Structure 1
Amino acid sequence: MDFLWILVAFLCGFGVKQLGMPPLVGYLAAGFGLHAAGVEPAESLETLANMGITLMLFTIGLKINVKALIKPEVWASSALHTGLWVGLLIAIISMAGWLGLSHYFDVPLHTQALIGFALSFSSTVCVVKMLEEASELKVRHGKLALGILIIQDIVAVVFLVASTGKVPSYWALALLGLWLLKPVLGHVLNRAGHGELLSLAGFFLALGGAELFYLVDMKGDLGALIIGMLLASHAKASELYKSLMSFKDLFLIGFFLSIGFTALPTLDMALTGAILMALLVVKLLLFFFLLLAFKVSGRSSFLTALALTNYSEFGLIVAHLSVGNGWMSQDWLVIIALVMSVSFILSSFMYRKAHHYYAIHKDSINQFERDGAHQQFDRPVGAEVLVLGMGRVGKGAYSALQPEYGEKVWGIESDPERVQKLKQQGFSIVLGDSDDMEFWQRVCTQNIRLVMLALPSQQEILSTLDMLKMANYQGKVATVARYEDEREQLLALGVDVVFNYYAEVGAGFAAESQHLLLAD
């Protein structure tokens, strides 16, 4: 049976990939298809799904700056959104029930509140996957979205404690001393090296943190998140994150499949779900205007709100507990599973074009900004060559060109912390998002002769090329690629030079070493 769901998941994921859709759409379809065919989920599927979520939260922790969580635009906007959303849902469900739009809306007040609460959360799994694909975990809107998701996870823990009556053990107070273990955990990572032992160390820390929290009657996933946050400042945090990415993504397939095994909807449930899907517009607007109220720029508010416009897997947990306690009917568990699944698909599609939508509608979006909120850009004065993405590849390209072209070479980086570090090291660099239309309009002048895209994600490269085209850039473009099919795609789009660093690193290595032969 394990082979069956692996086979179906692969075929569905492969099929939707050929249609240009995210593979997770196929995994969701595979789960519902297997359920409809009468296939029973294996126990290993649930284990795989749980491990995927635990690893995901651990890797989120590796990217989190704790200071970001105490900013009012994070905790206050999250809290206000939950309160306003629940109030609105109560009013809307009451009105829908009174109008007779669906008999499912004819429920008592406490059930209305629980439905609103279940649908107030955004999906950590879906949002993080979208941000990872776009390499936006460390940009402004990515950090805002992650911060809000973590605040929601904290609220989730409080709800679980209150609804189950399961109070954390007194030993939970001892968890406050976890920070004392930070040097020990860091030493473990240093001694683990760079191979499979580092990945195993990641599994040990993630699952160990979860088990530790389970022992004191707390949500285990929160433990994985906190252990990850303790290690976020470690020098090997980024390497550990990369070593776990493939495992995490593989295990999360089990999570997407398991959603389909939750329940199958009827036509009446689908109609009710369609109304709830329409309310995602309300969710988007609530996040957008709340973030604007805390002086977040129009672009960051729009992108953050769009990323968070989906329903969460936590809604299933709320519904499951509510059904068990007799607070709502079993039918609502099915409806929430349905709208959550569809919202994943819709969110994945919409966010892929998020920067394009902003570029087209930026004037309408930015008219709601508060004074002083609009993002300002430093200009790369005298630049003729721009290197976008100052990671290892970008820094290498900058360092190779700078001796000959001097101040005509500038780096562009979207991570503020990396910008500060590189400035201290003497790099000519400015903060900016490569897929921000306004950045190109304000910075890109006729003097720019060459744009080099040393970006880690094909999706981000494609989005940047779209922005360059919309900004009417006339110079040359060079990019990197990981695989030959990606290289061919970029060349077909008109990129002048595409460097496949996996295939061509050998040639570069030989060129660097050739002088050794001449010395003899």
Structure 2
Amino acid sequence: MPTLKIILLLLTSAVLAVGVMRAWRLPSLLAYFMVGFALGPHTFGLVADTEAVRGLAEFGVVFLMFSIGLEFSLPQLYAMRRTVLGLGGAQVLLTLGVVVAAAMMLGIEWRESFVIGGALAMSSTAIVSKMLVEQVELNSRHGRLSIGILLFQDIAVVPLLILIPALASADGNLAALLGTSALKAGVVLAVLLYFGKALINPWFDLVARQRSQELFVLNVLMITLGLAFATKFAGLSYALGAFVAGMLISETRYRFQVEADIGPFRDILLGLFFITLGMQLDIHALWANLGWILLLTGAVIAVKAGLITGICRLSRHETGVALRAGLTLAQAGEFSFVLLAMGSDSDLLNPQHTQILLATMLFSMLLAPFLIQNNGRLARLMAPSYKRNRARQVQGVADASMGLAGHAILCGYGRSGQNLARFLAQEQIPYIALDTDPVLVKETAAAGLPVAYGDSSRLEILEAAGLEKARVVVISFPELRATLKVLHVLREHYPNVPVIVRTLDDRDMDKLRDAGATEVVPEILEGSLMLASHALVVLGVPLNRVVKRIRRFREEHYSMLRGFFHGLSDSDLDVADKFQMRLRSVQLGPSSAGVDKKLYDLALEQFDVQVQSVRRGSEGTLPADPDLVLQDGDVVVLLGMWEGLASAENILLKGK
């Protein structure tokens, strides 16, 4: 089949499959597997599993490791060292040891057992992080444990990527070979990191000064693939060099821009990698070994969940929390397939075992969303003490709020919540704060502050905090999902309680108001108001006029401050963000479709776009009157979202 037809077939199939998986709220990774399985040589045979396709797919792994390096943070690792190094290290080593022992008891050679153990020790970062964010459990106790363990798994991939090729070439003295490989890796990493840190910042500064996005992306690709080639040339893996490239760039101020630019390359190439893995699945081998696959899937989930639960319990975490972390991480992960593919390419794996393992890992990932979604219910069923502890949480909140009336309930006790609490205390207004950070709650409670451990999205927690007698609820979460979850509970059961919501910027103001927020306070806009007020006073504007003007802006819900002009290098927000209100100036020429037409007739509101003003030569700035007739040379200032602005500009200039 011609190359163009193959690409078109893969793209069409991937679009349809990813769309179905997203509709079912399943990870896109499974869609790529299904496409490879359906089109591969063992099923319909529409696409051949060629070396060229596999070679291109390897770049997906390169960019996946680059992303891991980009997110690698020594300060974060140090802050979470007990969870990451303690629990994460124990989980990987114990899972590896148990799987190796079990595989060798079944008669599998020890090197193959090691590859299988390393693959099954991994969990899916994509599935777990996505589900935890959607369920607003990322900052819960089991959520933090899960993320910490996942972080160590990502780190553990690096030595495994070095060990597997070394095991494949271990014909003689294994200890000497492993020692040589470790020494070579250490020298290469030391050289790259030492010289890379000295060169990376000035080099990126030089590239960024050219103000060319094309050049910037090409530079990132050059560095990533260049370091990948360097480590491969040194006898190591491509992925290790990509990891180093990510680590180096993570130390620069261009990290987030790089992450945004490289995302599409990574996702598409990684999708191709998983398609090639799906091609290796043989439907006949799958059907012939279905019993073993189902049994092994259940065993993998049970063993991993049990080991992680036991490790968390030994670290003195509550049984229910430990169970929830275990169920959350019980599946295989993206790196499981990477390690399995490397083991297969190195001839360390029996082809029949590879088929069984591929299907087992795929089935475990299919079950993962359901286990994560229901981990709370399962934990309460399996650990009655967890249910009693949740009841004790409600009682603890009730005890902390005893005797309160006409008080404020603060949902979230971070920096914003704590600053508000200080003002309330000075005015002698009673309050109770709820937070899910156990360390924060312990320290603040020890200081005598009215702070209790509790999830603000649970109605029983809010009622225990005296919601019926409260005068106001203040939500200061940084996450939109968490805020919307609390608003939904409040408006469903207590629609008359005033709710004040803090948000970062004006992006979600309308959504939060529609969800029931009485007032929404955007931090960026409030900072702009304070900056303006100080500047006006210094410039000699009377204080009472400044106060009046600031009050007017707030009463109008910041309407005059909504949106701003985006430059080539804006430092406040990512210029690629399509969900941010922004301003755009459109200049009309003699052939523009909007000339000699009224603003009303253009109907720009259909695109959720407002005309802020019209600037006309010597007449200056004119108000946006619906009956205003536009003229040649007018500059129309629009306010709206990225896509709406593009459509409105087309109407003004082209008439369509």
TM-score (norm 1): 0.68
The range that moved more, 320-329 or 213-222, is 320-329
Q: Partner of 1:145: helix, strand, or coil? A: helix
In structure 1, the residue corresponding to 2:353 is in which secondary structure? helix
- The higher relative CO (CA closer than 8 Å, separation ≥ 6) is in 1
Partner residue of 1:152? 156
Query: Residue in 2 aligned with 1:186?
Result: 201
Q: Determine whether 1:293 maps to 2:314.
A: yes
Q: Which range moved further: 152-161 or 320-329?
A: 320-329
Aligned partners of 2:267, 2:374: CA distance in 1, in Å? Answer: 22
Cα distance between partner residues in 2 of 1:12 and 1:364: 42
Task: Confirm or deny that 1:85 pairs with 2:106.
Answer: no
Q: Quote the residue 1:422 is aligned against.
A: none
The counterpart of 2:292, out of the listed 240, 261, 272, is 272
Displacement of 1:271: 1.3
Supply the distance in 2 between the matched residues of 1:109 and 1:85 (Cα, whole angstroms): 15
Once residues 443 and 236 of structure 1 are traced to their aligned partners in structure 2, the CA distance between those partners, rounded to angstroms, is 46
Match of 1:213 in 2: 231
* More displaced 10-residue stretch of structure 1: 122-131 or 219-228: 122-131
Q: Do structure 1's residue 27 and structure 2's residue 35 form an aligned pair?
A: no
- Would you say the 8 A contact 1:131–1:142 is kept in 2? no
The answer to whether the 8 A contact 1:315-1:336 is kept is no
Classify 1:176/1:323 alpha carbon distance in 2 versus 1 (closer, same or farther; 3 Å).
closer
| TM-score, normalised relative to structure 2 | 0.56
Aligned to 2:445: none
In structure 2, relative to structure 1, the CA distance for the partners of 1:130 and 1:509 (3 Å cut) is same
Measured in 2, the distance between the counterparts of 1:353 and 1:465 equals 22
Q: For structure 2, list consecutive stretches of 5 or more residues without a partner in the other structure.
A: 1-5, 170-176, 390-396, 441-450, 521-561, 564-578, 584-607, 616-620, 624-656
Which residue of structure 2 lines up, in the alignment, with residue 228 of structure 1?
Answer: 246
Contact 1:412 1:432 in 2 (8 A): yes
1:286, distance to aligned residue in structure 2 (A): 0.8
* CA distance in structure 1 between the partners assigned to 2:609 and 2:51 by the alignment: 49
Does 25-34 or 179-188 show the bigger shift? Answer: 179-188
Q: 1:214 to 1:141 in 2, by over 3 A?
A: same
**Distance 1:353-1:256 versus aligned 2 partners, 3 A rule:** farther
1:56 aligns with 2:64: yes
In structure 1, the residue matched to 2:351 is: 330
Contact in 2 for aligned 1:46/1:258 (Cα 8 Å): yes
Go from structure 1 to structure 2 and tell me whether the alpha carbon gap of 1:52 and 1:170 turns closer, same or farther (over 3 Å shift).
closer
CA distance in 2, matches of 1:135, 1:179: 40
Specify the code of the residue in structure 2 equivalent to 1:213: T
Amino acid paired to 1:226: V
How much has 1:333 moved relative to structure 2? 0.7
> How many pairs does the alignment contain?
480
User: How big is the shift at 1:43?
Assistant: 5.8
1:427 corresponding residue in structure 2: none
- Select between 122-131 and 435-444 the one with higher mean Cα deviation: 435-444
Gap runs ≥5 in structure 1: 96-104, 369-375, 420-429
Mean alpha-carbon deviation: is it higher for 108-117 or for 339-348?
108-117
Cα distance, 1:34 vs. partner? 1.2
Provide the residue aligned with 2:21 in structure 1.
16
One-letter code of the match for 1:336? L
Alpha-carbon separation, structure 2, partners of 1:361 and 1:75? 28
1:290 is displaced (CA, Å) by: 1.3
The amino acid of 1:159's aligned partner reads L
Letter in 2 for 1:218: L
Report the alpha carbon displacement of residue 10 of structure 1 after superposing the two structures with TM.
Answer: 1.0
Q: Give distance in 2, aligned partners of 1:214 and 1:13.
A: 33
C-alpha separation in 1, matches of 2:254 and 2:455: 26
1:51-200 equivalence runs, <5 A: 51-67=59-75, 69=77, 71-89=81-99, 115-123=116-124, 140-141=144-145, 143-165=147-169, 168=181, 170=184, 173-177=187-191, 178-191=193-206, 192=208, 196=213, 197-200=215-218
Deviates more, 1:116-125 or 1:105-114: 105-114
- Contact 2:472/2:498 (<8 A) preserved: yes
Q: Is the 8 A contact 1:414 1:433 kept in 2?
A: yes
Q: Relative to structure 2, which stretch is displaced further, 265-274 or 201-210?
A: 201-210
Q: Tell me what 2:261 maps to.
A: 243
| AA of the residue aligned to 1:345 | L
CA contact (8 A) 2:491 2:516 kept: no
Q: CA-to-partner distance for each residue in 1:440-484, whole Å, 9 max, x for gaps?
A: 6699653473555875676x66766688799999846669899x9
**Alpha-carbon distance in 2 for matches of 1:218, 1:442:** 59
- Take 2:128 and 2:56, find their aligned partners in 1: how far apart are those partners? 20
- Is residue 2:450 matched to residue 1:449? no
Who wins on radius of gyration, i.e. which is larger? 2
- RMSD of the TM alignment (CA)? 5.7
**1:217 counterpart letter in structure 2:** G
Report the Cα distance in structure 1 between the residues aligned to 2:138 and 2:93, rounded to whole angstroms. Answer: 27
Amino acid at match of 2:8: F
CA distance in structure 2 between the aligned counterparts of 1:448 and 1:60, rounded to whole angstroms: 46
Change (3 A) 1:55 1:154: closer
Q: How does 1:350-365 map to 2 (within 5 A)?
A: 350-352=371-373, 364-365=385-386
**Cα distance in 2 between the residues matched to 1:353 and 1:463:** 17
Q: Point out the more displaced range, 60-69 or 296-305.
A: 296-305
Give the letter for the 1:62 counterpart. L
Q: Which residue type is aligned with residue 241 of structure 2?
A: G
TM-aligned CA deviation for residue 143 of structure 1: 4.4
Distance 1:274 1:204 in 2: 44
Q: Measure the CA separation in 2 of the matches of 1:56 and 1:431.
A: 40
Identity across aligned pairs (percent)? Answer: 19
Q: Deviations over 1:39-94 (max 9, x none)?
A: 21466653553333322322222332225557354334344334433554466568
